[in-house]
Amino acid sequence: MWWRAMVMGFVLTTSGAAMASSCAWPDWDHFRQTTLSKDGRVIDASTPEQVTVSEGQAYGLFFALVANDRPTFDLLLTWTQNNLAQGDLSQHLPAWQWGRRAAKPGEPESWGVLDSNSASDADLWIAYALLEAGRLWHERSYTALGTVLAREILAKETTAIPDLGRTVMPGPVGFQPDKDTWRLNPSYVPLQVMTRLAQALPTQTEWRSLLESSRRVLVETAPRGYSPDWILYRRGKGFQPDEASQAESAYNAIRVYLWAGTMAPNTASRDAVLATFRPLADDVAARGAPPERVDTRTGEAGKHDGNAGFSAAVAPYLAALGRNDLAQAQVERARSLARQSPLGYYSQVLALFGLGYLDGQYRFDADGTVVPAWKTSCPAPR
């Protein structure tokens, strides 16, 4: 298929497998030059605090692994441990936000943690990246740290919810408004990541339950075909719209379609997940772009189109449905918008995931493992 075109110039390893030491990835090179500091901090330059969020560090680790860029991986990991995890990820979940602190009168400017609460979406991806780095680079220290971090996630960022089972919470603090209500985020639980953690950590048996509850959080919260940014689960009532976010599908939920589109074809729950969001595909076909915001209670889309990152994120989903012309149009839209105006941090991340996948930089297997191009063959240059 068009997104799987690859060249046959690779290095033969001693095992006889075809492998390239690294593959050209211009989007990753651009990200490193524009968004990553020399000491390993992913910066959101659009904010006055010049913030770094743990999610950005997590995604950076994944991209560095996909690029076979171990020096950058280690820079990102070291900065994350030293600045977000009090020097030790095996003991502390990373704070989710770091940046420029507001200076008091007469005091010098300072930098540091702005919000010490952790974010499970970042922590899951960090644990995943560490486990996969340990496997692909044959480095036991990564595997050990990923295993311990996963245990910390289980202890501090999951809870047993009646009738739903053990479930990933967005963070340790602030997501249970009352004793019978839990606030969840579907975009926090990519099934590839949850599947891999369940298989890689068989002694941490809770991951099996978390995989099933994550599947339900995805497929049972989008009755109109659009994933919500946030959803409530109420004891005895099940999933309910989150009025605080106006039950909106927007900048969080766009990742749900991205994760769905990059699932391996033989993944057990893939067909159900893809079918859940078909109305989104129809909407993209009708308007030529994904909507920026949708009311998930009614399925009514707002008047504004999503940005380049939105198009890059939905393109793999459209391709997974077999709507290749529509997927290609979104790839072209994302590239065109990026040429017109530099992409911000979040749009760059969505583009690295979505366009990188369609360009053949990586794929996922059904067991959740990542297969980077450098382990097989490099994609043809664009």
Residue 370: helix, strand or coil by DSSP? strand
Task: Give the pLDDT confidence of 144-178 residue by residue, as tens digits.
Answer: 999 999 999 999 999 999 999 999 999 999 999 99
Which pLDDT score, from 0 to 100, does residue 105 have? 84
Per the CB < 8 A criterion, the answer to whether 177 and 124 are in contact is: no
Q: Which two tokens stand for residue 50?
A: 């010049």
Task: Give the pLDDT confidence of 185-241 residue by residue, as tens digits.
Answer: 999 999 999 999 999 999 999 999 999 999 999 999 999 999 999 999 999 999 999
**Is the per-residue pLDDT at 9 higher than 80?**
no
**Is the per-residue pLDDT at 287 higher than 70?**
yes
Give burial (CB, 10 Å; 0-12/13-18/19+) of 34. Answer: middle
Q: How far apart are CA 112 and CA 207, in angstroms?
A: 33
Which pLDDT score, from 0 to 100, does residue 242 have? 98
Rg (CA), the chain: 20
Which pLDDT score, from 0 to 100, does residue 20 have? 63
Please state, in angstroms and as integers, the Cα–Cα distance from residue 337 to each residue in 128, 310, 334, following that order: 31, 11, 5
> 130: part of which helix (H) or strand (E)?
helix 120-137
| Residue at 134: amino acid letter | G
**Is the pTM higher than 0.75?**
yes
Q: Which residues are catalytic?
A: 121
Which pLDDT score, from 0 to 100, does residue 276 have? 98
Domains of the chain: residue spans and CATH: 26-156 (1.50.10.10)
Per the CB < 8 A criterion, the answer to whether 58 and 66 are in contact is: no
Burial 164-174 (b: 16+ CB within 10 A, else e): bbbbbbbbbee
Which pLDDT score, from 0 to 100, does residue 102 have? 87
Please report, rounded to a whole number, the percentage of residues in the chain having pLDDT higher than 70: 95
